């Protein structure tokens, strides 16, 4: 039985600007050449937002000159829709099915592709240990034994169910063998617990990500998803400091962390 205690998070996609196209647009519209503010910084996330936001008033090269000031003004005035133009894609593994059940409740601005338990056999699958039962916590041996035994029993039951259905499910019910295998696994997965490890590709825009991190990085969120939200925040603060820089991360006496923004739900 393979156990995982921490997720792996891979930033798979980030925004990019086609500066040649933008320059052509400015020239066509008789707008001054690309202002310094739009080109500011190493990442292109804030540039996308400035280009989109200035479309509303065709105010390129006018108004606020400093990009930090410009973005902060959008955040504080809750002009949230322009933050929807910037998307990031994450591949996330080593998380439990209970975590992804909470994650996929975030609907607006999110796209998901998750490993299927009907197509993919779980015989060699892993389980995710809840943070409260992590190996480095003291005094959890007895509870950890309860968890380990339950997971072992579940894994064994899954294999037994697959074998039993392989023997008994009539072949002539299915046109394709793939459909039969799917039918077997979809039944056998009923004995897998919430702790079953899963993998998911998540793409979301900055407005949606900010809301997700605010909700799931808060003290009342489950520890596993809270850890994920805060790790995603760290990646995003590095990628797009102007768009996520108002979040602060705080360590609690129980050694878990929480994150909260200055600008709530833009």
Ligand X SMILES: Cc1cc2nc3c(=O)[nH]c(=O)nc-3n(C[C@H](O)[C@H](O)[C@H](O)COP(=O)(O)OP(=O)(O)OC[C@H]3O[C@@H](n4cnc5c(N)ncnc54)[C@H](O)[C@@H]3O)c2cc1C
Distance CA 195, CA 99 (A): 9
Cβ closest to ligand X, residue 49 vs residue 103: 103
Catalytic residue among 54, 180, 207, 216: 216
Q: Using CB atoms, what's the residue nearest to ligand X?
A: 107
CB 7 within 8 A of CB 93: yes
For residues 210-239, which are near ligand X according to CB under 6 A?
211, 215-216, 220-221
Cβ closest to ligand X, residue 51 vs residue 233: 233
Using CB under 6 A as the binding rule, whether residue 57 contacts ligand X is answered as no
Cβ closest to ligand X, residue 107 vs residue 171: 107
Distance CA 201, CA 89 (A): 7
CB 110 within 8 A of CB 213: no
Give me the least distance between CB of 214 and ligand X, in Å please: 9
| SS3 category, 157 | helix
Q: What character string, x for contact with ligand X (CB under 6 A) and - otherwise, covers 104-143?
A: -xxxx-----------------------------------
Q: In which element (H, E) is residue 8 found? A: strand 8-13
216 counts as catalytic: yes
| Residue 196 neighbours by CB under 8 Å, 6+ apart | 96, 97, 117, 122, 125, 126, 127, 128
Give me the least distance between CB of 207 and ligand X, in Å please: 9
Give me the least distance between CB of 19 and ligand X, in Å please: 32
CB 1 within 8 A of CB 129: no
Cβ closest to ligand X, residue 7 vs residue 217: 217
Distance CA 164, CA 187 (A): 11
Give me the least distance between CB of 143 and ligand X, in Å please: 23
Q: Which residues bind ligand X (CB under 6 A)?
A: 105-108, 208, 211, 215-216, 220-221
């Amino acid at each position: 039985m393979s156990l995982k205690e921490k997720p792996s998070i891979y930033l798979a996609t980030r925004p990019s600007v086609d500066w040649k196209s933008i320059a052509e647009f400015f020239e066509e519209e008789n707008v001054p050449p690309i202002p310094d503010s739009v080109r500011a910084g190493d990442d292109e996330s804030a540039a996308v937002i400035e280009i989109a936001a200035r479309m509303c008033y065709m105010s390129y090269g006018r108004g606020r000159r400093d990009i930090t000031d410009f973005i902060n003004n959008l955040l504080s005035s809750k002009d949230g829709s322009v933050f929807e133009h910037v998307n990031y894609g994450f591949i996330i593994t080593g998380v439990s099915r209970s975590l992804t059940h909470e994650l996929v409740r975030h609907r607006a601005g999110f796209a998901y592709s998750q490993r299927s338990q009907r197509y993919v056999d779980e015989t060699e699958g892993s389980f995710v240990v809840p943070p409260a039962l992590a190996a480095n916590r003291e005094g959890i041996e007895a509870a950890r034994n309860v968890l380990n035994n339950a997971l072992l029993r579940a894994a064994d039951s899954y294999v037994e169910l697959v074998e039993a259905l392989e023997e008994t499910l009539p072949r002539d019910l299915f046109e394709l063998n793939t459909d039969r295998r799917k039918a077997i696994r979809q039944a056998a997965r009923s004995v897998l617990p919430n702790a079953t490890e899963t993998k998911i590709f998540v793409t979301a825009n900055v407005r949606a990500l900010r809301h997700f991190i605010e909700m799931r990085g808060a003290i009342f969120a489950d520890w596993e998803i809270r850890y994920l939200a805060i790790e995603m925040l760290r990646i995003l603060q590095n990628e797009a400091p102007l768009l996520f820089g108002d979040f602060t991360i705080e360590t609690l006496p129980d050694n878990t962390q929480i994150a909260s923004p200055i600008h709530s739900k833009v």
